[in-house]
Chain A
């Protein structure tokens, strides 16, 4: 296993900048998930770590080695692709040993590694089959097996679950998590699904428009998003955002109000902008409760309730064009047409300035 360090990495195609000033440091055995919307550059970053795409400027270090100019096979990495990329004309065993043969490994060693991987992933009965005779989930396991036998320093995963159906995605996700614990390997995993990110990662790197929006432990990103983008990306359903402005600014507290939002005080004077400045208030659906401490109150008419069983989501119209989603538990969720007022404790509120950056509350 090895560490992975990325220093001021930039990537452009002609004039189009894909990645800007990426700095990332991954420890040995860490599971890092690169997550973000389509086009944010996460796959490009992964390919550059693998060596499939070149570096425009900056450095990539695997372990102590600077790998910028090394071919993929020289970097001691292994990659699991979105479409599995299994060689159709070879059986499973051959798929897994193909690269090893060219690395000059002896037959007994190759057999040992295949047997080991097959045991880990229950591939034993499948070894003689061809990819077209395998199901999607089986193909994915073979793809993972092919990566394992390379005994790499870093595992790279490029949206490996995207092509699987929902149920299979959940079970394979669990298998990957177990694999990580078993191997203790350094893994870099790319996905657009924030649930995969939250459940698998030791650390999440949220990317947007070629930059790192925030990087940290999953629950840190959940409870303390650094900006509007991360706040809205992590968590499902997404965080509610309300446009507000600063009414008054005192020594310790500020008074905020907005559409559908009566004025309330918040202990955020230290970093808050002056009166008149626009801010955004964020609060997660699961944090909106009926009898909340603190001054924050918001409410209106319930337009629609989506009932999922024990959990329901109420869509509440608080003002013209402003709706919030609140998560309610139990069977006494409100009905459509009811009026409702909700609040949240100060510690569950998030404040962002007009550039979208977090304003500390406390």
Chain B
């Protein structure tokens, strides 16, 4: 995607050459000024400030002392900080894996079904499947909390009706299942996005290619795996990196369902909630802006590494096919 930006720059316009330099600068300030100013001030600067803050510590008198990478070492090794950090990190990883394994394949499958030729009710299916994505995470989280709640019994009743009653447990309340359950709820909500992106990509494949495959003797399933799937790999790559960034930035669902403590017993704690607690503090600990900044910087680095791996290793290998 970033490399696409470089390709949309055209050759210089002749007007630029003819305009007096001062007028041109004024024009650019007018057009670019507001966007660049707001973006730099509220996106880039805070990020840089946070990274910088992570290299400081708060002294006894409340002022900042430069400590270099000490905070990072503390975060990663001092058990007071590192135990919850690594817990949050591995939970976050699990969240990401559940999305990759459940959300993306199902999204791809749904997109594949929706893009079949001459499908009736296609628009209706699309609209309804995308509906949960439109709703606030708070609503989704709480609604599922109620549905899965043993008090209400809806989920239990449903499972009993299909003979799987023995499976039921208060999943959201058990440390062993809470995170996976929340991950699945998140998948349920956001599956619409990879579905739509891949659907759009499938629409791009010319009909004649599918016809040629039919003449070659392939059934629809084989056509999907041998023809369509290879051609949408770039989109799948993009979906994967967006999932990665989204998951390692996640916060809302866990917070809405489990609160800042991400229980039970921190079983659903992810980097986002850990960051929130570190920065603002909670019952057992005072908030620490510098350590919060440290956690945020680490999150930034994790995401940066992921994005770089994607850009330089994955995207380069994937060829976009134009038709």
CB contact between A89 and one of B211, B213, B218, B231 (< 8 Å): that residue: B231
Q: Which of B208, B226, B231 has the most CB of A within 10 A?
A: B208
A71: B residues at CB distance < 8 A: 214, 217
How far in angstroms is the closest Cβ of chain B from A146?
8
* Closest chain B residue to A147, Cβ basis: B215
How far in angstroms is the closest Cβ of chain A from B211?
5
B211: A residues at CB distance < 8 A: 47, 50, 52, 79, 81, 85
- CB within 8 Å for A73 and B214 given contacts A85-B206, A89-B321: yes
Number of chain B residues whose Cβ lies closer than 8 Å to a Cβ of chain A: 19
A190 adjacent to chain B (CB < 8 Å):
no
In the bound complex, what is the Cα–Cα distance between A47 and B217 (angstroms)? 15
A87: B residues at CB distance < 8 A: 209, 212-213, 227
A201 adjacent to chain B (CB < 8 Å):
no
A78 adjacent to chain B (CB < 8 Å):
yes
Q: In residues 56-109 of chain A, which contact B (Cβ within 8 Å)?
A: 71-73, 77-79, 81-83, 85-89, 98-99, 102-103
Q: Mark A25-51, 1 if CB is under 8 A from B, else 0.
A: 000000000000000000000010011
In the bound complex, what is the Cα–Cα distance between A72 and B212 (angstroms)? 10
A85 & B230 in contact (Cβ 8 Å cutoff):
no
B215 & A99 in contact (Cβ 8 Å cutoff):
yes
In the bound complex, what is the Cα–Cα distance between A86 and B209 (angstroms)? 7
Q: In residues 174-223 of chain B, which contact A (Cβ within 8 Å)?
A: 206, 208-209, 211-218, 222
A132: B residues at CB distance < 8 A: 321
A73: B residues at CB distance < 8 A: 214-218
B231 & A52 in contact (Cβ 8 Å cutoff):
no
* Closest chain A residue to B206, Cβ basis: A83
* Closest chain A residue to B229, Cβ basis: A89
A79 & B215 in contact (Cβ 8 Å cutoff):
yes
Q: In residues 98-141 of chain A, which contact B (Cβ within 8 Å)?
A: 98-99, 102-103, 132
Q: Which of B209, B215, B222 has the most CB of A within 10 A?
A: B215
A72 & B214 in contact (Cβ 8 Å cutoff):
yes
In the bound complex, what is the Cα–Cα distance between A72 and B214 (angstroms)? 6
B217: A residues at CB distance < 8 A: 71-73, 99, 102-103
A81 & B216 in contact (Cβ 8 Å cutoff):
no
A50 & B227 in contact (Cβ 8 Å cutoff):
no
A98 & B216 in contact (Cβ 8 Å cutoff):
yes
B231 & A82 in contact (Cβ 8 Å cutoff):
no
B222: A residues at CB distance < 8 A: 102
A98: B residues at CB distance < 8 A: 216, 226
Q: Mark B51-66, 1 if CB is under 8 A from A, else 0.
A: 0000000000000000
CB contact between A83 and one of B208, B227, B319, B321 (< 8 Å): that residue: B208
In the bound complex, what is the Cα–Cα distance between A51 and B222 (angstroms)? 18
In the bound complex, what is the Cα–Cα distance between A105 and B315 (angstroms)? 36
B321 & A88 in contact (Cβ 8 Å cutoff):
yes
A81: B residues at CB distance < 8 A: 208, 211-212
B321 & A77 in contact (Cβ 8 Å cutoff):
no
In the bound complex, what is the Cα–Cα distance between A88 and B217 (angstroms)? 18
How far in angstroms is the closest Cβ of chain A from B234?
11
How far in angstroms is the closest Cβ of chain B from A118?
18
A78: B residues at CB distance < 8 A: 215
How far in angstroms is the closest Cβ of chain B from A215?
26
B218 & A102 in contact (Cβ 8 Å cutoff):
yes
How far in angstroms is the closest Cβ of chain A from B189?
33
* Closest chain A residue to B222, Cβ basis: A102
B213: A residues at CB distance < 8 A: 87
In the bound complex, what is the Cα–Cα distance between A146 and B208 (angstroms)? 14
In the bound complex, what is the Cα–Cα distance between A52 and B211 (angstroms)? 7
How far in angstroms is the closest Cβ of chain B from A138?
17
In the bound complex, what is the Cα–Cα distance between A87 and B213 (angstroms)? 9
B214: A residues at CB distance < 8 A: 51-52, 71-73
A72 & B215 in contact (Cβ 8 Å cutoff):
yes
* Closest chain A residue to B319, Cβ basis: A89
B216 & A99 in contact (Cβ 8 Å cutoff):
yes
CB contact between B216 and one of A47, A51, A52, A102 (< 8 Å): that residue: A102
A77 & B216 in contact (Cβ 8 Å cutoff):
no
CB contact between B209 and one of A50, A79, A85, A146 (< 8 Å): that residue: A85
* Closest chain A residue to B214, Cβ basis: A72
A77: B residues at CB distance < 8 A: 215
In the bound complex, what is the Cα–Cα distance between A136 and B147 (angstroms)? 59
How far in angstroms is the closest Cβ of chain A from B106?
24
In the bound complex, what is the Cα–Cα distance between A194 and B195 (angstroms)? 46
* Closest chain B residue to A75, Cβ basis: B215
How far in angstroms is the closest Cβ of chain A from B119?
16
Q: In residues 226-243 of chain B, which contact A (Cβ within 8 Å)?
A: 226-227, 230-231
A sample of 21 inter-chain contacts (CB < 8 A) reads: A52-B214, A71-B214, A71-B217, A72-B217, A73-B215, A73-B216, A73-B217, A77-B215, A83-B323, A85-B206, A85-B209, A85-B211, A87-B227, A89-B230, A89-B231, A89-B321, A99-B215, A102-B216, A102-B217, A103-B217, A132-B321
Other A-B contacts than A50-B211, A99-B217, 13 sampled, CB-CB below 8 A, are: A47-B211, A51-B214, A73-B214, A73-B216, A73-B218, A79-B215, A81-B212, A85-B208, A87-B213, A88-B323, A99-B218, A102-B218, A103-B217
Top 9 closest A-B pairs, CB basis?
Answer: A99-B216, A73-B217, A85-B212, A85-B208, A88-B321, A72-B215, A89-B230, A81-B208, A102-B217
Residues of chain A having any CB pair with chain B under 8 Å = 47, 50-52, 71-73, 77-79, 81-83, 85-89, 98-99, 102-103, 132, 146
